[in-house]
Amino acid sequence: MWEYVRQMTLVLEPLIMTAKPSTTTPAKPKSKTARKTARAAAKPADAIKLLKADHKEVKGYFKQYEGLENDADKQALADKICLALIVHAQIEEEIFYPAARETIDDDDLLDEAEVEHASAKQLIAELQAMKAGDRLFDAKVTVLGEYIDHHVEEEESEMFPESRDSDLNLKELGVMLAARKAELMAQFGM
């Protein structure tokens, strides 16, 4: 895993260090989320700050969903929630969890996190196969939010403090997470 981290750093570091300011104005990203992701990639925080910001953002989406009445609005926000969670889970599984597994001595916690991701992905797949207004759609969004609340609580109260106390290079991981997140968001057209 650390070899992968080193390789990614070797690839990204020259890009970061040698990038020259453009004389042309870059195209403004389409969505607010894309603009936030682009800003985050430009000045990456440490890995834990980046992941916590994702947690806060998606928690806000679930809170917004509670107040919606219109099926079109519910569908749009549920799609946004699902996409945000897919990207977040993928960067955690590809980058953060393997690095944490190498440095913290809590395989049970990391195993539980993977199982929680699998449960969330199952509900996400079910929601993506449905339409707002379908029977159980709202219930599935609610249960997904409850799963995510539980998962976030465990990460933020157990896994992240253990990671912060370890030898993980959180700045380096933050750069990798931000780059991968930006890549995935672009793939999904966000």
Which residues have CB under 8 Å from 56's CB, separation 6+? none
Pairwise CA distance, residues 143 & 16, whole Å: 41
The CATH architecture to which 2-187 belongs is Up-down Bundle (1.20)
- Over residues 61-70, the mean pLDDT reads 96
Q: Give me 94's structure tokens.
A: 């590809």
| Residue the block writes with tokens 């834990």 | 48
Mean pLDDT of 21-33: 51
Q: Of how many residues is the chain composed?
A: 190
pLDDT given for residue 35 in this prediction: 63
What sign results for the dihedral spanned by CA atoms 70, 76, 78, 81?
A: negative
Task: Record the tokens describing residue 125, joined without a space.
Answer: 């797949």
Tens digits of residue pLDDT in 81-131: 999 999 999 999 999 999 999 999 899 999 999 999 999 999 999 999 999
Q: Tell me the C-alpha to C-alpha distance, in Å, between residue 165 and each of 1, 96, 100, 158.
A: 19, 15, 11, 11
Q: Return d(Cα 21, Cα 33) in angstroms, integer.
A: 23
* Pair of tokens at residue 106: 């809590």
Q: For residue 20, is pLDDT > 60?
A: no
Residue 18 has pLDDT above 50, yes or no: no
Answer whether residue 23 shows pLDDT above 70: no
